[in-house]
Structure 1
Amino acid sequence: MTWPDLLLVGLAGVWAGFINTVVGSGTLITFPVLLALGVPPVVANVSNTIGLAPGSFAGAWAMRPELAGQRARILRLGPLSLVGGVAGAILLLVLPASAFAAIVPVLIGIGCLLVLLQPALSRRVAARRERAGVPVAGPPGGPLWLGAGVLGTGVYGGYFGAAQGVLLLGLLGIGLDEPLPRINALKNVLAMLVNGVAGIVFILVSDVDWPVAIAIGIGAVLGAQLGAKVGRRLPPTVYRVVIVAVGVAAIVNLLR
């Protein structure tokens, strides 16, 4: 790969890091670029996951003020993301590439729908808890179904990862009584864990295009810093519009 190619990959990494920190779906930017430059699909997916992992960490670190008071949630949900990420990475290495092709657009669509319906559903859940005498905020890690959803999203994220942030935002928005910026910060931590552990699996047992991974990594870190500044300033309604717009774009991209 030539230096101009690597520069293009790095710029794609900047945009992917930005989008991942604000919403999620950065893979839909970098992965097509790698395919267009002739990188084989599995190697592109592996190298892309490794490259985006530093950006995920940078995004989570930049939004640490929004993580205040969420340590218990991270300790309860984080291990589920780790297990899911390992499982997804293994599935990528042993299953045909077409295995998840049909379900991915459906999952992203469900995530967008959850984000749109989140305010009404959250009010309904809170009212039901109040009638039952349960604290509105619920347990620190959310209800049991949320843990199952985080685990499943981790599997998907380790396998491919496009729009796993949209799915996480939808699930966390329904299961937790928190404003979107705090939910987004938690999403960044969980996505970081998935990308990080999947990347470790790929480094150990798969072929990696290291120049590509490094170029994406550098770009993603820079983009994540910008994304954190923009993300915490977006009003909730704008946040939802951005999330759904990215999710719809992801579905259109995947159905081509």
Structure 2
Amino acid sequence: MVFVKDEESLPQSAQGVRYAFELERIKNITGNHFWQTTLGYNGVYYWDNQYYNEQTLHFSLGYMWRDAQFIGKIIPFVEQNWFGVHRYNHQFGVKLFSQIQLSEHWLWQNRLANMRKHYADTSLADRYNGNENTVSTTIIWQDNTHWQSWLNLELVSDRLKEKSSSSLKWASGFGIAYYQKQWGTQINVRYIDRHFADHHYLMHLKRHDREYQLNGAIWYQKLSWRGFLPKLHIRYQRINSNIPALYSRKNQELFFTIEKQF
């Protein structure tokens, strides 16, 4: 079978800015008990191709228990996504998080999440509405000076209305970071193996993707201005699919961010 992509299906190019804002408040109830509230807004704005603009609004309110050795959280959340100027989908769910201080240099983090997806367009809703369940574990090593490294394992199960779009995804990642007073850098590599649950609607086989990711960043404190710190990022993604004409692709990005914490 030969696939011919129309112009909209071909890789697109655009120039724009990526932005993110987040407000978080942690309020003590009593003793080791806390409320945690988060409001976030992020997106991408392309001034020469606004059809592909993206926006996400996120809100969460949850409970946290914390002492010197352990942190535990239960965080219900809701999100609304826009694509272009239209509502694309909304999702809600709950996240569980724990962090254990194993020793002076070792941390162990675990996450569980359940999320329900709802799409605004009925043709998309009939295919992609469903549940996403995630479990992940991360071991972190950090010395008392400049270095930090981590190893992560993750399992994601997508159970959607359309079985051929449902999938089971395994991921593993490794990262390392180096911080000094004047500058810092970090790099993270990640491998994802994704198996789909049923035969593709056009092909007589089940889709199987292998994905490779590389993310890096570097920054220099002397370039900061009034607390605004520029960072140079590199991002690489490659997907090898057993249906390459439709799903194999690669993306490369080199971009700056400007960050400030209040």
Same fold at TM > 0.5: no
Q: Which has the higher strand share?
A: 2
Decide which structure has the larger Cα Rg and report it.
2
Structure with greater helix share of residues: 1
Higher relative contact order (CA 8 A, sep 6+): 1
TM range (shorter): under 0.3
TM-score (norm: length of structure 2): 0.23
TM-score by length of 1: 0.23
